[in-house]
Structure 1
Amino acid sequence: MIQDGVAHREAIMEQLQATTEVLNEHRPDRIVVFGGDCLVDQAPFAYLNERYDGQLAILWIDAHPDIKNPKEYCNAHTMVMANLLGEGDATLAAQVKVHIDPKKVMFAGLRQDGLTRQEAEFIERHSLSIATPEALISSSESVLEWIRLNEIKHLAIHFDLDVLNPIEFRSVFFGEPNPASDPYEAFPAGKMSVAQVVRLINDVSRATDVVGLGITEHLPWDAITLKDMLADIPILS
């Protein structure tokens, strides 16, 4: 159901509020999130920015920037970074009490060739930093330089698994076997290797205090196929 331009808005709001209540109750200094789509990082990262007095920086390791709005697309997971910056969907962005400073946002592994006009204009308007997959092939220096220049003390890392090349890591949206439609039509697949992402996360962890990590968009197609296959075998049913 699409409500005011956002699919499943009511359920999303309930989840955001419930997550925020848990975080405010336990007041953690560090958070690790695993599973779900990119929107699962909104409440934890918003909490961490409050926890660190608006000084949190975010490294968004993702093939896509997640800076859309309801006019562009109805799925809220494509808006989460915009929400954290105070834009995106107005109602979802209002759940972020302290918005992220644009200087403290960097995209890593972003496929610039797949940006829409709206996304490209958003990035230019906010002067958001980018390290392309090509820039990160053999070095993390572009990200480390961003950390130094902005004197980043506390960092949250968003690691969307679809930043990975689906030929190497297939448990992502783009690794779907025999898709009914072209999964690359609206969004380009990631180009980074597992080794490159691991090196990048280790390098930035030595350079600053990593207080948050979200690992999202896991789609284990082979496990799903195996489950469906076994369900059709008589002796197992």
Structure 2
Amino acid sequence: MPGTTTDTTAHGSHLRLIWPEWQGAGADMAGRLAPEFPLDVARRGYTVGTTVLGAVLPQHDGPVATVPVPLGDPGGEVRDGVESKAVLTRQLSDALEIIREQDPARITTFGGTCTVSVAPFTSLAARYADDLAVVWIDSHPDVDTGATDYDGYHAMAVSMITGHGDPEMSRLLPATVPADRVALVGLHEWTEDAYQHVGRWGLTSFSPDQLRTSTQPLLDWLASTGCSRLAIHLDVDAVDAKEGALGLGTIPDGLTGAEVNRIARELRGATDVVATTVAEFFPRDVLHVQQVLNGFPLIGG
């Protein structure tokens, strides 16, 4: 079986999936948005972020599985408009196999780029069929495709989940979620060539200002889907960068941390949350400490 798993589980458990995927962010973008670090450090910053999440968030008393992620660079070429497609396809296949073997009723995922939600959300879509909705909390819509300008796979996650992704990779998925059951929350930054897909595919979106004082518009949308189960994705760049740079990009005027927390808590009160993903954490201070201590006596490197 790919990856490592602890605490072997029975049917219907709550799986914690650790997926330190970094190849989904385009190499050029990583270098441009984190120029203070050597490129190889900047590109792999999401692996450090995944480790930090596991260290600072509450421990899990159920099964924990880790998707194997290579740290080397083979397979970084662009194919079909997707950078590092071969290595990302392998990781997607491995993650789906882990989930099939565990057969969980709930999945919490720590990543990695936004693409780490594709395998758990589509697996739960197969389990719950028409009874699963998705709330995607992110500054960006993540609706790129191989035909849009940006080749980074992390910007294609919603496309994959809604059945509009790369055909070869999509064939691996056990199910998809119709676009009318997906809400983009906190959306306020995009490229025009991808943004057109939001309306064309029938996605619902909420800007930060629409949810500043109340979660009710989102709760009303959720009720309109008729779904009793929900998957929540959080890209930490949805949090206003003026509070602190949590993501690779520093994007101002997003939701505040308190607003994100309030939205998640009220969603939990309104429905059965069966999946949560925390993604795109890029811990600059931790990476800086690593650089300071690189080659330090008795530490190594």
* Partner Cα separation in structure 1 for residue 297 and residue 172 of structure 2: 50
88-97 vs 66-75, greater mean Cα deviation: 88-97
87-96 vs 210-219, greater mean Cα deviation: 87-96
Q: Given the alignment of the two structures, is residue 71 of structure 1 paired with residue 134 of structure 2, yes or no?
A: no
- Give yes or no for contact 2:242–2:253 (8 Å, CA) kept in 1: no
SS in structure 1 at match of 2:129: coil
Structure 1 residue corresponding to 2:291, chosen from 214, 228, 236: 228
Structure 2 residue corresponding to 1:131, chosen from 200, 206, 221: 206
Aligned length: 223
Q: TM-score, normalised by structure 1?
A: 0.88
SS in structure 1 at match of 2:196: helix
Q: Given the alignment of the two structures, is residue 208 of structure 1 paired with residue 284 of structure 2, yes or no?
A: no
119-128 vs 25-34, greater mean Cα deviation: 119-128
Structure 1 gaps of 5+ residues are 176-187
Post-superposition CA distance 1:30-74 (Å, at most 9, x none): 000012000111000010000102431100000001110112121
* Partner Cα separation in structure 1 for residue 285 and residue 190 of structure 2: 30
Q: CA RMSD of the aligned region, Å? A: 1.7
SS in structure 2 at match of 1:28: coil
* Partner Cα separation in structure 2 for residue 212 and residue 128 of structure 1: 20
- Give yes or no for contact 1:63–1:190 (8 Å, CA) kept in 2: no
Q: Given the alignment of the two structures, is residue 36 of structure 1 paired with residue 112 of structure 2, yes or no?
A: yes
Q: Larger relative CO (CA 8 A, sep 6+): 1 or 2? A: 1
* Partner Cα separation in structure 2 for residue 51 and residue 236 of structure 1: 47
Aligned to 1:98: 175
Moved over 3 A (4+): 232-237
Aligned to 2:8: none
- Give yes or no for contact 1:57–1:104 (8 Å, CA) kept in 2: yes
**Cα deviation, residue 232, structure 1:** 6.2
SS in structure 2 at match of 1:31: strand
Structure 2 gaps of 5+ residues are 1-76
Post-superposition CA distance 1:122-161 (Å, at most 9, x none): 1111221111101111111111001111222110001000
* Partner Cα separation in structure 2 for residue 8 and residue 94 of structure 1: 18
Q: What is the percentage of aligned positions where both structures have the same residue? A: 30
- Give yes or no for contact 1:5–1:71 (8 Å, CA) kept in 2: yes
Aligned to 1:120: 195
- Give yes or no for contact 2:136–2:232 (8 Å, CA) kept in 1: yes
Partner letter of residue 132 of structure 1?
S
Matches within 5 A, 1:183-198: 189=252, 191-198=254-261
* Partner Cα separation in structure 2 for residue 62 and residue 53 of structure 1: 24
